[in-house]
């Protein structure tokens, strides 16, 4: 099938994962610590900073009509209060390139990476961050707002609580049996929708504390992807609200939302209370912060099952992706339907994808995921678009370049782009 003309079919990226040389960010510093938890640094990544026009034209040629990408705070405000006009003009050029190629730009203001100066001032547990983020959002909107219809303030704003829960589980497993730490780490990593190396993080804790103190002035810098306290969790959403207010004050017609990392939480017999509690933590308790948003970005990759004793491992014999997620594209439809029960604004799938070496499995994943999207649209759910993650094989955070999510392969020696069959397959859903 093909979706109606106004439906957005596209792909997503994050600045740090594709642009390269994001030197003023917290991640760049952490990648280069002697005892880094990153298996490799991002370097020039996919050089999307210079090759965005080529990448956008490949999307357009395949039939896509939307591109969700992030502007990089660490480029735009490399030092506190000092805004770089050249960098904001760069992103204006990206937006105009999208428009020239018939692609709707969906801009994310904060996709995990922060300016290093912000982390030195307390990061994502500091009250002052709300004001800094509001100021940054106002600056970007003042400069680029006339060119935009959609802004996502913060990517996966609920990630901190998910990481806190997973870190607790991994520490418990490691304490219970050191010999099982390897398998426990893989299980933990397979339950969070971001590339993390929990085992290496635990091994490096002592060294990391010393090196982080030297780099950021604290042994435990509160980067965005840190285990979040309940107070920090609320602070992230208050920062979202402040940014939304700033955006709307300048351009009331811009559609503003946030994105959440959401699993298809399934209760097996006896696991109902665990699944409900998990959904409350992952989604429901955020409703007061987002109820008035124009849209919600739904981000889903897999499911999580619960039994009488809590979270269950992947089913025996299940197909696993490179990220150790269960191959389960039906999860997306389940999550969309459940979110729509409580959130009454528009929905956009801002991330959904799979890391595999066999592109035919990616095609199958997209086919089944979009069958679920079609079913939701037919049932009247206000779903406005689907963004596959990711446009390019890119830098998957602590896991480096080993995870291949992309619709386009990238030879990082030559930066040559090779579109995969899945890119054209996704584009075929456009009328």
- pLDDT of residue 34 exceeding 90, the answer is yes
Is pLDDT at 381 greater than 70 in this prediction?
A: yes
d(CA 359, CA 282): 31
Determine the average pLDDT of the residues in 411-425: 97
pLDDT digits (tens, 9 = 90+) for 296-317: 999 999 999 999 999 999 999 9
**Two tokens at 59?**
């999307």
Q: Looking at the domain that runs over 8-427, which CATH code has it been given?
A: 3.20.20.80
Judge whether 92 and 146 are in contact, CB under 8 Å: no
**Residues with Cβ within 8 Å of residue 86, at least 6 apart in sequence:** none
How far apart CA 326 and CA 317 sit, in angstroms, is 10
8 A C-beta contact, residue 408 and residue 423: yes
Give the model confidence (pLDDT) of 98-154 as tens digits: 999 999 999 999 999 999 999 999 999 999 999 999 999 999 999 999 999 999 999
**Which tokens is 217 given?**
């002035």
pLDDT (tens digit per residue) in 89-108: 999 999 999 999 999 999 99
Q: Where are the domains of the chain?
A: 8-427
Instruction: Name the pTM for this structure.
Output: 0.93
Share of the chain above pLDDT 90, in %: 85
pLDDT of residue 164: 77
**pLDDT of 399 above 90:** yes
- Per-residue pLDDT band for 385 (boundaries 50, 70, 90) equals very high
Q: Which residues are known catalytic residues? A: 156
User: What pLDDT, in 10s, does the model give residues 265-294?
Assistant: 999 999 999 999 999 999 999 999 999 999
| CA-wise closest residue to 246 among 139, 109, 87 | 139
**Cis preceding-peptide flag for 37 (omega within 30 of 0):** no
Q: What token pair was written down for 16?
A: 């740090």
Smallest CA-to-CA distance from 397 within 155, 164, 142 is with: 155
């Amino acid at each position: 099938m093909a979706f109606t003309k106004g439906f957005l079919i596209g792909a997503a990226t994050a600045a740090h994962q594709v642009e390269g040389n994001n030197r003023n960010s917290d991640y760049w510093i952490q990648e280069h610590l002697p005892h880094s938890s990153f298996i490799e640094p991002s370097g020039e990544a996919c050089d999307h900073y210079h090759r965005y026009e080529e990448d956008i034209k490949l999307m357009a040629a395949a039939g896509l009509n939307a591109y969700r990408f992030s502007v990089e705070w660490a480029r735009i405000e490399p030092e506190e209060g000092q805004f770089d006009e050249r960098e904001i003009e760069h992103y204006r050029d990206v937006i105009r390139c999208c428009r020239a190629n018939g692609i709707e730009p969906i801009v994310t203001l904060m996709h995990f990476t922060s300016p290093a100066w912000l982390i030195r001032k307390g990061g994502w547990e500091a009250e002052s961050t709300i004001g800094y983020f509001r100021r940054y959002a106002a600056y970007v909107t003042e400069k680029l707002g006339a060119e935009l219809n959609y802004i996502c303030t913060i990517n996966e704003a609920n990630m901190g609580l998910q990481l806190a829960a997973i870190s607790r589980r991994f520490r418990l497993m490691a304490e219970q049996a050191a010999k099982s730490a390897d398998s426990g780490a893989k299980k933990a990593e397979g339950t969070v929708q971001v590339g993390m190396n929990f085992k290496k993080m635990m091994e490096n804790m002592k060294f990391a504390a010393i090196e982080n103190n030297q780099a950021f002035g604290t042994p435990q810098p509160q980067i965005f992807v840190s285990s979040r306290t309940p107070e920090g969790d609320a602070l992230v959403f208050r920062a979202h609200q402040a940014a939304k207010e700033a955006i709307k004050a300048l351009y009331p017609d811009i559609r503003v939302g946030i994105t959440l990392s959401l699993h298809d939480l399934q209760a097996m017999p006896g696991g109902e209370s665990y699944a409900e509690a998990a959904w409350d933590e992952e989604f429901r308790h955020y409703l007061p912060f987002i109820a008035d948003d124009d849209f919600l970005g739904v981000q889903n990759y897999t499911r999580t099952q619960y039994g009488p004793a809590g979270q269950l491992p992947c089913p025996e014999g299940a197909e696993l992706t490179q990220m150790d997620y269960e191959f389960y594209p039906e999860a997306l439809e389940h999550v969309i339907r459940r979110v729509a029960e409580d959130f009454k604004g528009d929905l956009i799938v801002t991330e959904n994808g799979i890391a595999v070496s066999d592109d035919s499995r990616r095609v199958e994943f997209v086919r089944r995921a979009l069958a679920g999207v079609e079913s939701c649209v037919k049932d009247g759910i206000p779903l406005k678009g689907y963004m596959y993650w990711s446009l390019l094989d890119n830098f998957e955070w602590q896991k480096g370049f080993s995870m291949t999510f992309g619709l386009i392969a990238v030879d990082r020696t030559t930066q040559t782009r090779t579109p995969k069959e899945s890119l054209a397959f996704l584009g075929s859903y456009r009328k």
